[in-house]
């Protein structure tokens, strides 16, 4: 049973908290093997504005090699180095992201993980006045803890790179690397100095993990359907719909960024496809629980230091 220690202290009283608490109280009705909860990462578990953390990590890596003329000759990378947002907008985030992906072409998984962790250990958020790793949402961390207390398998299902999120997921959320489902980079296996080695390539293994791909990747990677899902953008729509349509107690939770004072105010959208309608309209029509940062959260970020 859920007890008072897990009553979501950072959530304000109201319909959304009631819906979440109601699901937690009903969770013991769900067979333990079916207690699976999937969370998006960017904008759901931590801040995604003014830029995605992973994109900032790649930009940081690019700037550390800014004196390489071969990199400056790549239009996408040149635009990033110049901070030319107009050029980046014309090129498109997807093209820029693939160009940045090439910065780690040939790196081993261990090398990439070490660099990701090094970046997160020193990165500061440009406007919030706190380390990037301290921009996780306290109310969502409380929800993750409550689910884990109820023997849920908690997974992260992200449009971001799988390996980047795996590098920090256990430390930030208590989610092991094998429970992270994201956009996968392809690896090349080879033999060097008489031993096997695995190195990153510049190709994606499959498609970007957004929209319907999240559902198919949950099935292919995890093999279990979630009864609870949380997201914040149109890229999470199908995942939330799939969780909500399951049997027994279910919960679809949308995080609404409507707090310009404490975080940012915007309607989240998918990055790799056009959406027919805002995700907040979808949530209202479907009857999902919507967590308004402004109304439903007593605090947005937890203490740090």
CA 160 to CA 89: how far, in whole Å?
19
pLDDT at residue number 4:
52
Dmax of the chain from CA atoms?
63
Q: Are 9 and 199 in contact (CB under 8 A)?
A: no
pLDDT at position 5 is 46
Distances (CA, A) of 30 to 20, 148, 244: 15, 14, 14
Those residues whose C-beta lies under 8 Å from the C-beta of residue 124, and which sit 6 or more positions away, are 130, 131, 132
HEC profile of the chain: CCCHHHCCCCECCCHHHHHHHHHHHHHHHCCHHHCEEEECCECCCECCCCCCHHHHHHHHHHHCCCCCHHHHCCHHHHHHHHCCHHHHHHHCHHHHHHHHHHHHCCCCHHHHHHHHHHHHHHCECCCCCCEHHHCEEHHHHHHHHHHHHCCCEEEEEEEEEHHHHHHHHHHHHCCCHHHEEEECEEEEEEEECCEEEEEEEEEECCCCCCCHHHHHHHHHHCCCCCCEEEECCHHHHHHHHHHHCCCCCCEEEEEECECCCCCCECCCCCCCCCCCCCHHHHHHHHCCEEEEHHHHECCCECCCC
- Asked whether 59 and 71 are in contact (CB, 8 A), the reply is no
Task: Report pTM.
Answer: 0.95
Task: Going residue by residue through the chain, which has 305 residues, state the pLDDT in tens, using 9 for 90 and above.
Answer: 556 546 899 999 999 999 999 999 999 999 999 999 999 999 999 999 998 999 999 999 999 998 898 888 899 999 988 888 898 888 887 788 889 999 999 999 999 999 999 999 999 999 999 999 999 999 999 999 999 999 999 999 999 999 999 999 999 999 999 999 999 999 999 999 999 999 999 999 999 999 999 999 999 999 999 999 999 999 999 999 999 999 989 999 999 999 999 999 999 888 888 888 999 999 999 999 999 999 999 999 999 87
The domain locations on the chain are: 4-50+131-296, 53-122
Q: What is the pLDDT of residue 271?
A: 83
176 φψ region: left (φ > 0), alpha (ψ -120 to 50), beta (else): beta
pLDDT value of position 6 = 60
The CATH number of the domain covering residues in 4-50+131-296: 3.40.50.1000
What pLDDT shows up at residue 179? 98
The residue among 52, 73, 89, 41 whose CA lies nearest residue 214 is 41
pLDDT in tens, 205-256: 999 999 999 999 999 999 999 999 999 999 999 999 999 999 989 999 999 9
């Amino acid at each position: 049973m859920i007890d008072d220690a897990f009553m979501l202290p950072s959530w304000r009283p109201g319909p959304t908290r009631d819906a979440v608490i109601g699901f937690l109280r009903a969770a013991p009705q769900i067979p333990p093997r079916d207690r699976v909860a999937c969370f998006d990462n960017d904008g759901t578990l931590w801040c995604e504005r003014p830029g995605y953390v992973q994109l900032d990590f790649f930009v940081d890596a690019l700037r550390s090699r800014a004196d390489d003329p071969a990199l400056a000759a790549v239009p996408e990378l040149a635009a990033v180095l110049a901070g030319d947002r107009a050029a980046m907008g014309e090129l498109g985030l997807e093209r820029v992201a693939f160009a940045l992906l090439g910065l780690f072409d040939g790196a081993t998984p261990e090398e990439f993980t070490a660099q990701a962790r090094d970046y997160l250990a020193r990165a500061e958020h440009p406007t919030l006045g706190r380390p990037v790793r301290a921009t996780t949402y306290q109310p969502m961390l409380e929800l993750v803890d409550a689910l884990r207390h109820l023997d849920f398998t908690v997974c992260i299902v992200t449009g971001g790179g799988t390996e980047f999120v795996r590098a920090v997921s256990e430390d930030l959320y208590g989610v092991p690397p094998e429970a992270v489902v994201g956009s996968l980079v392809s690896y090349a296996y080879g033999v060097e100095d008489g031993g096997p080695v695995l190195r990153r390539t510049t190709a994606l293994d499959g498609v970007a993990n957004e929209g319907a791909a999240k559902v198919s990747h949950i099935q292919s990677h995890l093999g279990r359907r979630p009864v609870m899902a949380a997201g914040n953008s149109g890229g999470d729509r199908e995942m939330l719909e799939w969780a909500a349509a399951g049997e027994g107690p279910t919960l679809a939770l949308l995080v609404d960024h409507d707090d310009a004072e404490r975080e940012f105010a915007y309607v989240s959208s998918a990055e790799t496809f056009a959406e027919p309608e805002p995700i907040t309209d979808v949530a209202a029509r479907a009857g999902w629980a919507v967590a308004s940062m402004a109304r439903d959260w007593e605090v947005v970020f937890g203490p740090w230091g």
